[in-house]
Copies of this chain bind each other. A is one copy, B any other.
Amino acid sequence: MATSSSSDTKFLLTEADMPPAWYNILADLPEPMSPPLHPGTGQPAGPDDLSPLFPMELILQEVSTDRFIDIPKEVQDVYKLWRPTPLYRARRLEQHLGTPAKIFYKYEGTSPAGSHKPNTAVAQAFYNKVAGINRLVTETGAGQWGSALAMSGAFFDMEVKVFMVRVSFEQKPYRRALMQAWGASCIPSPSQETEAGRRILQQEPDSRGSLGIAISEAVEEAVTRSDTNYSLGSVLNHVMLHQTVIGQEAQKQFELADTYPDVIYGCVGGGSNFAGLILPFMKERIDGKDIRIVAVEPTACPTLTKGTLAYDFGDTAQSTPLMKMHTLGHTFMPAGIHAGGLRYHGMAPIVSKLHDLGLIEAQALPQTAIFEGAVQFARTEGIVPAPEAAHAVRAGIDEAVRCRESGEEKTILIGLSGHGNFDMAAYDEYFAGNLVDYEHPQSEIDEALSRLPTVAG
């Protein structure tokens, strides 16, 4: 059988081509990361501070500076249910735009959960199972992370409970059914089941919820139940690590396509899909390669473009370690946009560090623009993008249009992190003309930033 050639639409790898290890950017950063701090003492948090939440193997990955960390066979076996994922050349979109640019997209929607999230969910479930843990609790925004962990729990015969941000729970009822199909339970957050949830509901009975609140609830349950660990779908170093299979595959696929990206666009919420795609390329950027890397976020939650780099809590109830990250403040409540997965006040410390070092750029887009781009994409390439992924799609289309005007023959890579099959209610609202472009007034952002914790040193 022939292998892929540069005239193909999809650049495919076989299972034998799958990366045997995750790539760890901590081995190659020009300067070290700032350590997480204990929320009580303000001192650097050690393994013992994290062990009520995570198994030791993941804690070690969180701080490791080894360049490569082997992917266990059991995790690889599950990856093979949908990996390697395809890299597409968007020939129809290029033609439609009349651009001289070459547009590529790396598509993570082939996983049964429909997004990149299982890349880390499977690994986390596995390491917990090996450590003797049979019950996981987590939070989810749009439901992509919750679905991914639900599926991974099924594969390793574990119980999974998901606190889902209430606004998404209501917008996306079928996500709950999906989690249930994989055997997990899913409840709207804030809930009456935790101290953190009850406190919020007392202050604001109609709370739409937020990822920050849902994290507080999940963390509280993990800390108070010895049979239960917590699992986080983004932000942390080990999550970024697990996602690097995306970028490593893409690099091999660009060899088949006989080109190399000049610019990469990925959407950012907590940062994991973006990091997974760009970190392997970032190594080459650090080594001197000329490549632009752009994080695209919603104007309704402008963490990189309007937030600040500071130590902050990962959650609303101030129960997580303090992390040095771009943040809008842990009390910031993002508007109820449809890209629920991007409604997070903070940004992964690794992504924040890269931004601080000037190695990545950031831009923000309003939601009507991203749906416009998504529909253009669907009508040319077929795939209906998830609203989150549509941020990268729109930014990539804008770049291709600029190339049409300038005549530049750039190679553009878009991170298409998932499909929109569970987001059709959002498309429905878009077609009905009911979508609003939220932009928080600066005073609201300043107010949240004024509540950042004070950290000595």
Contact = CB atoms under 8 A, between A and B. Distances in A.
A1 B16 CA distance: 8
Nearest to A179: B424
Interface in A411-457: 419-422, 424-425, 427-428, 431
16 contacts: A1-B3, A1-B17, A1-B256, A5-B16, A9-B77, A9-B80, A81-B88, A112-B382, A173-B428, A174-B425, A177-B428, A178-B384, A180-B427, A181-B378, A181-B384, A182-B384
A338 interface: no
Copies of this chain assembled into the complex: 2
Contact of A431 (B180, B256, B424, B428): B180
Interface of A: 1-5, 8-10, 12-17, 77, 80-82, 88, 91-92, 110-114, 151, 154-155, 173-178, 180-183, 252, 256, 374-375, 378-384, 419-422, 424-425, 427-428, 431
B9 A12 contact: no
A378 B4 contact: no
A252 B2 CA distance: 13
Nearest to A80: B9
A432 to B, nearest CB: 10
A434 to B, nearest CB: 13
Contacts of A92: 81, 155
A384 to B, nearest CB: 5
A181 B15 contact: no
A425 B422 CA distance: 12
Contacts of A379: 154, 181-183
Contacts of A256: 1
A36 B154 CA distance: 50
The 10 A-B residue pairs whose C-beta atoms are closest, nearest first, are A112-B382, A174-B424, A9-B80, A177-B424, A421-B421, A2-B16, A154-B379, A177-B428, A1-B3, A112-B383
Contact of A1 (B9, B14, B374, B425): B14
Contacts of A151: 382
A273 to B, nearest CB: 19
Contacts of A422: 421, 424
Given A177-B427, A178-B424, A178-B427, 5 more contacts: A8-B16, A81-B383, A181-B379, A181-B384, A181-B420
A67 to B, nearest CB: 24
A81 B381 contact: yes
Contacts of A113: 382
A88 to B, nearest CB: 8
A87 to B, nearest CB: 13
Nearest to A371: B181
Contacts of A427: 177-178, 180-181
